[in-house]
Amino acid sequence: MSLRVVTVVISHDQPTYLANCLEAIEKLSFRPERVLVLDSSTQPEVQPILDAFAKKSSNHAVISIEGQANFAELAALAIKQALTGYADLTDVAIWLLHEDSVPEIHSLAELVRTLELSPLVGIASPKQLSIDNPKLIVQQGLTITKRFKPFSIVSDELDQKQHDGMSDVLAASTNGMLIRANLWAELGGFSLTAPELARDIEFCIRSHHAGFRVVVVPTARVRHAELAIHGKRDKHWLGGSTKYALAKATNHLRLSQLPMALSLLYWLALPAISVLQIFWLMLVKRPDRIWLTIRANFWAFFTLRSRVRDRHGLSNSGIRKLFASRAQVKTRARQALEHVEQELNLAKFEQNEETVSTGLGFAASGGLWIMLALAGISYAFFPIGQALTGGLALPLSDSWLQLFANTGSSYQHIGLGLNAPSDPFTWVLLTIGSITFWNPNLALTVLLFMAKPLAFFGAWRLVSLVTRSATVRIFIALAYTFIPALSLAQAEGNYPAVIFSITLPWLLFSLARSARIGLSSSVRSVEQSWAWLGASALLLVVAASSAPSVLPLLALLLIAFAIQLKTKFTRAILITIPTLGIHFPYVIFQLIENKQPLALLADPTIALARQQKTLLQAVATDSDYAKWAILLLAVLAIISLLTKAKAVFTIWIFATLSLINLWFIYSVDFTFGGLGSIFLVQSEGVKDSEAPSVMAISILLLLAVALLLGSISRKWLQRASACLVLAASFSLIAFNLITPNQVKFSESRNLPALFTAQANNGSELRLLVITAEADQNFRAEVIRRSGLRLDALSTAYRMSEPNTNRAYPGKQELALLVANLVSANGQKLTEALKAVGVGYILVPNQSNNGEIQLALNTAAELDQAGTTEFGQLWRVKHPNEILADNQSRSWSVTKAIQLSVLIGFSLLALPTARGRKRRISNDLAPEQEQE
């Protein structure tokens, strides 16, 4: 029986492709009985082509429609019109073509022969080749994985006839599909509710259930541009981007083809699955797919009725043998990986990227030995005790759970208490303390001990971007390591400044790698680029949280980074997400509640009165060793402006901005106070630490010096300049050796043993510390049971205290209580002491506290508890024993979101080979949708 063929061409706004397609149809060896073109174009260039085609033969017909419609609707309308007049459909077949395809001369004849030879074949599909390269197979049969993800059996392979033995497949693409008309009528055509990239698969599965086979015919060849798959059509054609369409297709197939119980379970679990997919996509370095994945899941969740309409109650067990095997998926992933690597290598060749050696590695250049020597120089900080105290150093909470509770908290457990977010810096402390979770203080003390080796390693890596000389890298890194600001920060236990100094070189290095700046700036894969971006985002959190004083400088740095990325501007925005998530509650509190925008720049540490310094003293200190060294390095940095290196000018711009930032910070007075301070009078302001801004200036100028050394062509001059840098480094080392330490190792307890013992037994009583200040003024600090802990410091609390816009519950009562205590006026104090919850009173051993001690000895409500290493201690006779702190909460919605963001970006920064392979598998179109 001779098969009659009706050809249907679907056209939309592609006049050139349409003309080529219609011309190819006219040259077919097997001539269709009818050819109908359904066009939904808006371009006027299409109409003359259609008019000319319609005039060629009476068997040619053209239907033009207005308005947007999807492919299934257009195909249904066209096929219905094309089959008009056929009473018996058993010997009629429909050949469906996209206008961006060009069938070869014998393609239709081969398809027709297959249907005529086998009555059980309901659908025959051609081998689809690239329209630009006829030797490249772009598709030859479709199937799905065992998790119902669309999978192309053959894709982007050179045609060496290796797949010419293929026959039965699960599904085939709509382009070039030859369908028996009676099968089309029986099944009712394509599903109008299925998403675009699931319609062909869903239709072919129904064909299998109807008892027909779906085959590919390798001898039938059709060239196809795949405009929709490559994003060259209007997005309404696929209902969105290609990746979004694939995600929707996967969800549709799962909800319509899985057994009913599993389908319902999958639908109910879609919200939880979305969360897991976010973390998975971060791990496999595909954050760009997070939004479309969530959209696809929400689309499936809220259109369940439409998904269920395509359920037919038939088991797929009989056709599971046609599903993609695990071996096929792995093979495709490996082939795609090789293809991507070839493209990357070709891109590097076309861009003339340097492939020469970038110099000796860190270990080969002796970096590890230098780190060991630097650790030896820092012997005074070797962790021989539980925690460091003195200077600005405070211990962390002894319990990791307490450390976690203090992180991201919405209530400050210090002083009189305050509903406010904790410092962003507590997230940094939590990360460090989690390394030795059984003893959080251990990791913090090891960090201070390893500050110089870690700063050296980071500076070495950063300098490697501008010079190949191992000697220059080492000398410049050593100079950075011994900058006085870092040495002083280490000596006084200024953890935030030390952490920032370690982090800054790595932040600059990761940003440079993300933006492909510097030597060996190329990345081996897309995953590596995303990993550097994730690392940059996390390092930015650490830098911004440790040194709020340089936030303006960091903002300018990100703007420059975004400009460098050009078309990938969204990546610069992505880098800021963790920082914005961690800082947002704190920023809102300072701006709206405290109404102190400048408080956002305050250091997250104890605010102690400091000796006022000039900018020169801040940068070089008063030491002659440091002054001459800094002056020498500054002169070399200035000379670098004479070089031809383009980066020098940019470096100097940011160095100047860093100096302006330092001047600005020095012009701002912040509130003086420690942990839980309550000032009975307005206190004098204090300055932020100069260390972060100075370290930023230093690393930038040292980069300029490195560029200078690398640009000198004469060996003797280069060596002389390097010796000057080394001499400056030795001067800075000398300054470090004579810098006295202000910290010491001791127990983590930093309060009287009696108070600590009762707190450990569950007492919620508080310790009141009274200190005399100048001009007969007094300062009171209320210490809660958790004690003086670094993770309990609260800049929000400190900045709220002098703010008259905030009502401090109990402040007036405390002020009156302290006044009565120090004046020894005989007032009854029992109720006042109970109201504040004070169980003990401590007066530090200071020369000006003698009168306070005498006054407290006269108070009938107090018993002297003796002298402690922290001062004179008194015990309240009748304290408020039932006092309880009901504000304690370890979790909150905000904290959960912040933690999730940090975990997600940690997965993004984590390099994994598995993630790379899986990501490439996910990139295949249309074979797999993302995890």
pLDDT digits over 176-223, tens only? 999 999 999 999 999 999 999 999 999 999 999 999 999 999 999 999
pLDDT: which is higher, 825 or 931 = 825
pLDDT score at 684: 64
Helix (H, G, I), strand (E, B) or coil at 746: strand
Question: Over the Cα atoms of the chain, what is R_g?
Answer: 37
Q: What percent of the chain has pLDDT over 90?
A: 46
pLDDT score at 816: 84
Triad 234, 238, 239: Cα angle to 5°: 90
Residue 685 phi/psi, 5-degree rounding, is: -80, 160
pLDDT: which is higher, 835 or 524 = 835
pLDDT digits over 702-728, tens only? 999 999 888 877 777 777 887 888 888
pLDDT: which is higher, 605 or 849 = 605
pLDDT of 16 strictly over 50: yes
Q: What percent of the chain has pLDDT over 70?
A: 90
130 band by pLDDT with thresholds 50, 70 and 90: very high
pLDDT: which is higher, 357 or 644 = 644
Q: What is the mean pLDDT of residues 363-390?
A: 89
What does the block give as tokens for 494? Answer: 């200024």
pLDDT score at 435: 94
pTM of the model: 0.85
Q: What is the mean pLDDT of residues 392-420?
A: 87
What is the chain's mean pLDDT, rounded? 86
- Helix and strand numbers, DSSP H then E, in the chain: 34, 22
pLDDT: which is higher, 508 or 882 = 508
pLDDT digits over 785-835, tens only? 777 888 888 888 888 865 544 545 567 778 888 888 888 887 888 888 888
pLDDT: which is higher, 878 or 320 = 320
d(CA 572, CA 809): 43
pLDDT of 517 strictly over 70: yes
d(CA 416, CA 893): 24
Q: Which of 150, 144, 145, 103 is nearest to 126 (CA)?
A: 103
Q: Which of 923, 930, 907 is nearest to 155 (CA)?
A: 923
Triad 141, 142, 147: Cα angle to 5°: 155
Q: Are the C-beta atoms of 496 and 543 separated by less than 8 Å?
A: no
pLDDT score at 468: 87
pLDDT of 925 strictly over 50: no
pLDDT digits over 247-266, tens only? 999 999 999 999 999 999 99
Please list, in sequence order, all residues whose beta carbon lies within 8 angstroms of the beta carbon of residue 256, skipping any fewer than 6 positions away. 194, 202, 263, 307, 308, 310, 311
pLDDT score at 419: 85
What does the block give as tokens for 120? Answer: 């059980």
Buried b (16+ CB within 10 A) or exposed e, 654-688: bbebbbebbeebbeeebbbbbbbbbbbeebeebbb
What does the block give as tokens for 101? Answer: 């395809």
Residue 209 phi/psi, 5-degree rounding, is: -65, -25
356 band by pLDDT with thresholds 50, 70 and 90: very low
pLDDT of 917 strictly over 50: no
pLDDT digits over 301-316, tens only? 999 999 998 888 788 8
pLDDT of 82 strictly over 70: yes
pLDDT score at 850: 78
Which residues face 34 on adjacent strands? Answer: 6
391 band by pLDDT with thresholds 50, 70 and 90: confident
| Cα end-to-end distance, the chain, whole Å | 48
Amino acid at 116: E
Q: Is 648 exposed, middle or buried (0-12, 13-18, 19+ CB in 10 A)?
A: buried
